[in-house]
Structure 1
Amino acid sequence: MVYYPYTKVQLSLLISFVINIVMMTHAVDFNPIITETFINGLPDNTVLLDVTCKSKDDDLGFHTLKVDERFDFSFHQNFWGNTHFVCNFTWGSKHNDFDVFYKGKSPCRFTFVKSDIYCYWLMKDSGIYFARTKSPNPSPSNFRFVYPWL
Structure 2
Amino acid sequence: MTKSFFILLIIFLYIINAYEGALVGKTDAYIEVHVVDALPNNDIPLTFHCASKDDDLGYHHPQVGDDFHFHFYPKLFGHTLFFCHFWWGNKQATFDVYTYELGTNCSWDKSAIEYCYWKVQEDGFYMGPSLNEVKKMHDWN
Give TM-score, length-normalised by structure 2: 0.73
Greater than 6 Å deviation, 4+ residue runs: none
SS in 2 for 1:46: coil
Q: Is the 8 A contact 1:103 1:110 kept in 2?
A: no
Q: 1:85 pairs with 65, 76, 82, which one?
A: 82
CA distance in 1, matches of 2:116, 2:22: 23
Alignment: residue pair count: 120
The residue type equivalent to 2:103 in the other structure is C
After superposition, give the CA deviation of every residue in 1:24-47 in whole Å (9 maximum; x if it has no partner). 838735763100100000012431
2:140 aligned with 1:144? no
CA distance in 1, matches of 2:105, 2:124: 24
Q: Is the 8 A contact 2:49 2:57 kept in 1?
A: yes
After superposition, give the CA deviation of every residue in 1:69-116 in whole Å (9 maximum; x if it has no partner). 121100011235311111111111111111111233xx23699x6631
Q: Hey, what does 1:103 align to over in structure 2?
A: 100
Q: Which has the larger radius of gyration?
A: 1
Q: Over aligned residues, Cα RMSD in angstroms? A: 2.8
**Residue identity (%):** 32
Q: Is the 8 A contact 2:105 2:128 kept in 1?
A: no
Q: Hey, what does 1:69 align to over in structure 2?
A: 66
In the alignment, structure 2 segments of 5+ residues that lack a partner are 1-16
Q: Is the 8 A contact 1:41 1:124 kept in 2?
A: yes
Q: CA 1:95/1:62 → structure 2, altered by over 3 Å: closer, same or farther?
A: same
In the alignment, structure 1 segments of 5+ residues that lack a partner are 1-20, 133-137
Q: Is the 8 A contact 2:42 2:63 kept in 1?
A: no
Q: Hey, what does 1:122 align to over in structure 2?
A: 119
CA distance in 1, matches of 2:118, 2:88: 14
